[in-house]
Amino acid sequence: MPILNILRYPDERLHKVATQVSEVTDEIRTLVHNMTETMYAAPGIGLAATQVNVHQCVIVVDVSDSQNELQVLINPEIISSSGVSDNEEGCLSVPGVFAKVCRAHSISVKAVDINGQTYVLEASGLLAVCIQHEMDHLLGKVFVEYLSPLKQKRILTKLKKQQRNAM
Ligand code: K1U
Ligand code: ZN
């Protein structure tokens, strides 16, 4: 199965807003499969379709150590949340950059699964953080955009340097 190309910040395509999936077709199932392979290969604990330049509301998440607790969330919607926590986040689209972001500690998310069935997932801790991070991607938001303008400028300088060195 192909490993998909992950867009790198500040690629403008990371700012596109994803559209809702109207039906879970074989094409969506193939996308989910390829995104899952790409996330595990990276390795990462989450991936949003936006990051692989597909602008539909699909995310995959697996925060387990053994990569065997995959969650597929199509058209995810947070229906309730509680508490706040500051957590260090990373992003496969912003390699080598980690920063603290404040998020809800616990969330209830309504989503559609790979069979087209609606379900509700109760998440807290890292799983909740990761789902919120991935849902931001679907809205065209990258985690570094929560940081101060000065920190964002420093990150952009670091990423440009990385890209120059990779040539
Ligand atoms: O790019 C992404 O959206 C995936 C990102 C998810 C995430 C990580 C940490 C906090 C919030 C959201 C990553 O997976 S970055 C890589 C990473 O954190 C990791 C990689 C391997 C093992 C454990 C963690
Ligand atoms: Zn990310």
pLDDT tens track for 65-90: 999 999 999 999 999 999 999 999 99
Residue 133 beta carbon below 6 angstroms from any ligand 1 atom: yes
Question: Domains of the chain by range and CATH?
Answer: 12-166 (3.90.45.10)
Which atom number of ligand 1 is nearest to the Cα of residue 88? 10
The tens digit of pLDDT for each residue in 19-39 reads: 999 999 999 999 999 999 999
Residue 123 beta carbon below 6 angstroms from any ligand 1 atom: no
User: One-letter amino acid identity for 71?
Assistant: Q
Protein residues placing their CB within 5 Å of the ion ligand 2: 91
Residue 109 beta carbon below 6 angstroms from any ligand 1 atom: no
pTM for the whole thing? Answer: 0.97
For residues 139 and 56, is the Cβ–Cβ distance under 8 A?
A: no
Residue 43 beta carbon below 6 angstroms from any ligand 1 atom: yes
| Contacts (Cβ under 8 Å, ≥6 apart) of 153 | none
Give the whole-angstrom CA distance, residue 33 versus residue 54.
Answer: 14
pLDDT at 125: 97
Does the annotation count 134 as an active-site position? yes
Ligand nearest 126 Cα, by number? 1
pLDDT at 166: 85
Ligand nearest 42 Cα, by number? 1
